[in-house]
Amino acid sequence: MFKKLLLSSILLGITSVAAASEKSEGNSWVGGFFEYYNPDGDKPLPNGYLDDGEGYGAEFGYRFAPDWAARFEVSKVKLDIDFSRAAGITDFNDEGTRYGVDALYFVNDSATFLFSGLKFATYGNDHKLLNLGLGRHWKLSEKWVLVSEAAVYHDFGESHRDVGFKLGLAYTTGDIPTRSDTADDDRDGVDNGYDQCPNTPLGTAVDSNGCPLDSDKDGVTDEKDACPDTPAGMSVNERGCPSDADGDGVPNATDKCPNTPKGTKVGKKGCALSLDSDQDGVLDANDKCPNTPLTDKVDVTGCSIFMEKEVRETLEILFAHESAVIGNPDASKIKEFADFMKRFPNTVATIEGHTSAPGSEAYNMDLSDRRAKAVKVLLSEIYNIDAARLKTIGYGESRLLDTSNTSEAHRVNRRIEAVVTANEKVKLKR
Check residue 18 and give its pLDDT.
42
Q: How confident is the model at residue 133 (pLDDT cuts 50, 70, 90)?
A: very high
Q: How confident is the model at residue 21 (pLDDT cuts 50, 70, 90)?
A: very low
402 has a pLDDT exceeding 80: yes
Indicate the helix (H) or strand (E) that contains 7: helix 2-23
61 has a pLDDT exceeding 90: yes
Indicate the pTM of the whole model: 0.39
Q: How confident is the model at residue 121 (pLDDT cuts 50, 70, 90)?
A: confident
Between residues 93 and 349, the one the model is more confident about: 349
Flag the least confident range among 43-47, 94-98, 214-218, 323-327. 43-47
Q: How confident is the model at residue 366 (pLDDT cuts 50, 70, 90)?
A: very high
Across residues 113-139, what is the average pLDDT?
90
CA distance 135 to 361: 91
| Domains of the chain from N-terminus onward | 2-173 (2.40.160.20), 270-303 (no CATH), 309-427 (3.30.1330.60)
Q: What average pLDDT is seen over the chain?
A: 80
DSSP, collapsed to helix, strand or coil, labels residue 84 as: helix
Check residue 19 and give its pLDDT.
43
Across residues 37-61, what is the average pLDDT?
78
Rounded (5°) CA angle 212-213-219: 90
CA distance 292 to 136: 64
Q: DSSP assignment of 359-413, as one string?
A: S-HHHHHHHHHHHHHHHHHIIIIIS---GGGEEEEE-TTTT-S--S-SHHHHHHH
Percent pLDDT > 70 in the chain is: 73
236, 286, 304, 423 from 310: Cα distances, Å:
44, 32, 19, 4
Check residue 100 and give its pLDDT.
95
Whats the size of the chain, residue-wise?
430
For residue 400, is it left (φ>0), alpha (ψ between -120 and 50) or beta? Answer: beta
Between residues 147 and 257, the one the model is more confident about: 147
Percent pLDDT > 90 in the chain is: 37
Q: Contact 258/271 with Cβ under 8 angstroms?
A: no
128 has a pLDDT exceeding 60: yes
Flag the least confident range among 40-49, 115-124, 389-398. 40-49
Check residue 17 and give its pLDDT.
41
Q: How confident is the model at residue 1 (pLDDT cuts 50, 70, 90)?
A: very low
What confidence tens digit (pLDDT) does each residue in 214-239 have? 767 666 777 776 676 677 666 667 66
Check residue 55 and give its pLDDT.
92
Q: How confident is the model at residue 415 (pLDDT cuts 50, 70, 90)?
A: very high
What confidence tens digit (pLDDT) does each residue in 174-214 have? 888 765 444 666 666 777 666 777 777 776 777 767 777 77
Check residue 290 and give its pLDDT.
80
What confidence tens digit (pLDDT) does each residue in 137-181 have? 999 998 999 999 999 999 877 667 889 999 999 999 988 876 544
